[in-house]
Amino acid sequence: MTLKDARDPKVREAGEYVQSGQKWKANEAVVEVESKLRHKDIVGTTCKGRQGLGSESTTRWKGASARERRMLVQQEIRNQEEDARVVKAVEMGNQGKWTKWEAEQRELTLSDIWKYTAFQLQFLLKAVYDVLPTPTNLKTWGLTEDPMCTLCQKPANLEHILSSCHVALTQGRYTWRHNQVLRALAHTLETERKKDLIQTEHPRFISFVRSGEQTTGTKLQHRKGILNMARDWGLRVDLEKKLVFPPIVETTQRPDILLISEQTKKLVVIELRVPW
């Protein structure tokens, strides 16, 4: 599309061929998607659920620029590939169980992949598709004869090992796992909280620029997020000793983490779950 929409006629007429897979052809996919986008212009924007008329605005193919058309085509092709992937996953009884989860979708970006170790990424992907070497899987693969849990003598599938063994629950193994994640989360929040406090100790000065001159230096990047809403956050974590809710409201609940700002009258409640 970049070559086809170029301003130079020689570039447009060069006839460059874009290599793609044997089953998927880039030029055929672009032509098909362009026809679908033109059809969407005829149909118009449809409302979903309880949306009112005009509540959602989209970029139309007819009035889009060359750059916007490229983005529309790319997004439409991504959506088609994602739909095909989900359809394939639904057909798979065991590895497609994740399609029935009632959880928010999680995007695994390239930056996230670079931060993970090889073992972490391997465990994450195999856990989603249930191909970890659990006793039930090893029995299915013919690598062992006993698919039972060594603690309670029940079938040890992925769900059972990670969250459903009553013996592990009684022994406090799930609580220990929960607290390890909570401790790491609290450490990160405490580090960011202290970083914000240190930054506010130094005054900021305005650099004046004479008329006709340009500024030199980098622009200040404002941090976004909940911690940027206040500078006097107090952190309370439900570790070692019982967390007591502040006397703002009477409750017996014990959240895992509390962030309190007396100056801005803000309270952030964090409840951690470590599901299978």
Q: Which long-range contacts (CB under 8 A, 24 or more apart) does 258-264 make?
A: 259/189, 259/193, 259/226, 259/227, 259/233, 259/234, 259/235, 260/233, 260/234, 260/236, 261/229, 261/230, 261/232, 261/233, 261/234, 262/232, 262/234, 263/230, 263/231, 263/232, 264/229, 264/230, 264/232
Q: In the prediction, which pLDDT does 202 show?
A: 45
Domain ranges of the chain: 9-45+57-91, 110-170, 178-202+224-270
- Give the whole-angstrom CA distance, residue 152 versus residue 63: 65
Which SS3 state, helix, strand or coil, does residue 178 take?
helix
Q: In the prediction, which pLDDT does 201 show?
A: 44
CB of 252 closer than 8 Å to CB of 243: no
Task: Please enumerate in sequence order all residues whose Cβ is within 8 A of that of 197, keeping only pairs 6 or more positions apart, or say none.
Answer: 231
In the chain, what are the helix, strand and coil shares in percent, each to the nearest 5?
Answer: 45, 5, 50
Q: In the prediction, which pLDDT does 50 show?
A: 78
Q: In the prediction, which pLDDT does 197 show?
A: 57
Radius of gyration of the chain (CA): 27
Q: In the prediction, which pLDDT does 153 show?
A: 93
pLDDT tens-digit profile, the chain (276 residues): 888 778 888 888 887 777 787 788 888 888 899 999 998 888 877 777 777 776 777 788 888 888 888 999 999 999 998 999 989 988 887 788 888 877 777 788 899 899 999 999 999 889 888 899 999 999 999 999 999 999 999 999 998 998 899 999 999 999 999 999 999 999 999 988 887 555 544 445 567 777 777 766 555 455 567 888 888 888 899 988 778 888 888 888 888 999 999 888 889 999 998 876
Q: In the prediction, which pLDDT does 73 show?
A: 92
